[in-house]
């Protein structure tokens, strides 16, 4: 992100912070007693080059951060859910497609379930035995899936969310997670997007309204401090 855009965002955030805090926003939801890690769309179509959905800062920031979170979860027996997106019927002319109407806005038709390499979780953060791989059809990881029921059955009260994109699937997952009654934590360094400034603005706004934005260091410390 270039310096001028960064300066503009910093000014906007400073002004918005004054407004939000004066009106009672930016409260803390806090960490709970039983966490789970939700990695949203960290699959090859989003993490590897050459795809319409390819995001920035994957190799240098997001994957290393998620690796640290995974290590802490696995060492302390915390649930992990790897979320991905794909479709069985990618013919845009077929009225019975599982893409719904979303293909009229974005090229979800490229993520065909028949090509597993596209929607497979990035091998650098690949699931291990006992971790969930959840396929969603819409932006939110909760919409039309078993995620909330799975988390409640496991006794989870806190979700740490990573992935892409800040402006869509991560944001809607956090919004729905809070609506479903979970303490929502967005892991700052582990959330990405394609558009300059999108991560910064969305995390600022999410922190004011829907989740606590916390550093990967603090989240790793938290995961180590509670036992699964």
3-state secondary structure 56-99: CCHHHHHHHHHHHHHHHHHHCCCCEEEEEECECCCCCCCCCCCC
169 an active-site residue?
Answer: yes
**What is the distance between the alpha carbons of residues 198 and 192, in angstroms, rounded to a whole number?**
8
pLDDT of residue 97: 98
What digits encode the pLDDT tens for the residues 115-138?
Answer: 999 999 999 999 999 999 999 999
Domain carrying residue 63: 33-225
Has residue 16 been placed in a domain? no
Question: Of 169, 175, 190, 219, which is the active-site residue?
Answer: 169
152-156 contacts at long range (C-beta below 8 A, 24 or more positions apart): 154/34, 154/36, 154/79, 155/34, 156/34, 156/35, 156/36, 156/79, 156/182
What is the Cα gyration radius of the chain? 17
* Residue 163 forms part of a structural domain: yes
Q: What is the phi/psi pair of residue 42, to 5°? A: -90, 55
- How confident is the model over 67-100, as pLDDT tens digits? 999 999 999 999 999 999 999 999 999 999 999 9
Average pLDDT over residues 182-197: 96
Q: What angle do CA 173, 192, 211 make, to 5 degrees?
A: 40
26 is a domain residue: no
User: Mean per-residue pLDDT for 192-206?
Assistant: 94
**Residue 1: pLDDT over 80:** no
- In a domain, residue 113? The reply is yes
Residue 3 pLDDT greater than 90, yes or no: no
Q: Where are the beta strands (DSSP E) in 137-197?
A: 158-164, 183-192
Q: Residue 117: enclosing H or E segment and its boundaries?
A: helix 116-119
User: How many domains is the chain partitioned into structurally?
Assistant: 1
127: in domain: yes
**pLDDT (0 to 100) of residue 102:** 98
**pLDDT single digits (tens) 40-51:** 999 999 999 999
19 in any annotated domain = no
Residue 228 in this model has a pLDDT that exceeds 90: no
Q: Among residues 29, 82, 41, which one has the least CA distance to residue 191?
A: 41
> For residue 11, what pLDDT band results from cuts at 50, 70 and 90?
confident
pLDDT band at 34 (very low <50, low <70, confident <90, very high): very high
Kindly state whether residue 18 falls inside one of the protein's structural domains: no
DSSP assignment letter at 124: G
Of the pLDDT bands very low, low, confident and very high (cuts 50, 70, 90), residue 174 is very high
Predicted pLDDT of residue 147? 98
Percentage above 90 pLDDT, the chain: 89
Distance CA 164, CA 83 (A): 10
User: Residue 9 above 90 pLDDT?
Assistant: no
Give me the CATH number covering residue 221. Answer: 3.40.50.850
> Is 179 a member of any domain?
yes
- Reported in sequence order, the residue ranges of the chain that DSSP labels E, i.e. its strands, are 35-40, 80-85, 132-136, 158-164, 183-192, 212-214
Give this prediction's pTM: 0.95
Q: For 135-156, what is each residue's pLDDT tens digit?
A: 999 999 999 999 999 999 999 9
């Amino acid at each position: 992100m270039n310096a001028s855009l960064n300066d503009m965002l910093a000014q906007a955030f400073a002004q918005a912070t004054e407004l939000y805090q004066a009106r009672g926003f930016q409260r803390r939801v806090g960490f709970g007693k039983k966490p789970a890690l939700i990695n949203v769309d960290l699959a090859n179509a989003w993490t590897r080059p050459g795809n319409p959905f390819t995001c920035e800062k994957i190799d240098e920031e997001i994957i290393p951060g998620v690796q640290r979170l995974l290590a802490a979860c696995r060492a302390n027996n915390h649930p992990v859910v790897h979320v991905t997106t794909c479709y069985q019927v990618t013919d845009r002319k077929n009225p019975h497609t599982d893409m719904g109407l979303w293909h009229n806005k974005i090229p979800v038709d490229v993520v065909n379930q028949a090509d597993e390499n596209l929607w497979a979780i990035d091998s650098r953060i690949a699931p291990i035995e006992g971790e969930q791989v959840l396929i969603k059809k819409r932006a939110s990881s909760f919409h039309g899936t078993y995620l909330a029921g799975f988390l409640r059955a496991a006794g989870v009260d806190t979700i740490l969310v990573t992935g892409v994109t800040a402006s869509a699937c991560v944001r809607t997952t956090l919004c729905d997670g809070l609506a479903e009654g979970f303490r929502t934590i967005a892991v700052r360094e582990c959330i990405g997007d394609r558009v300059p400034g999108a991560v910064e603005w969305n995390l600022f706004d999410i922190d004011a309204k829907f989740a606590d934005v916390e550093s990967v260091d603090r989240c790793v410390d938290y995961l180590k401090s509670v036992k699964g």
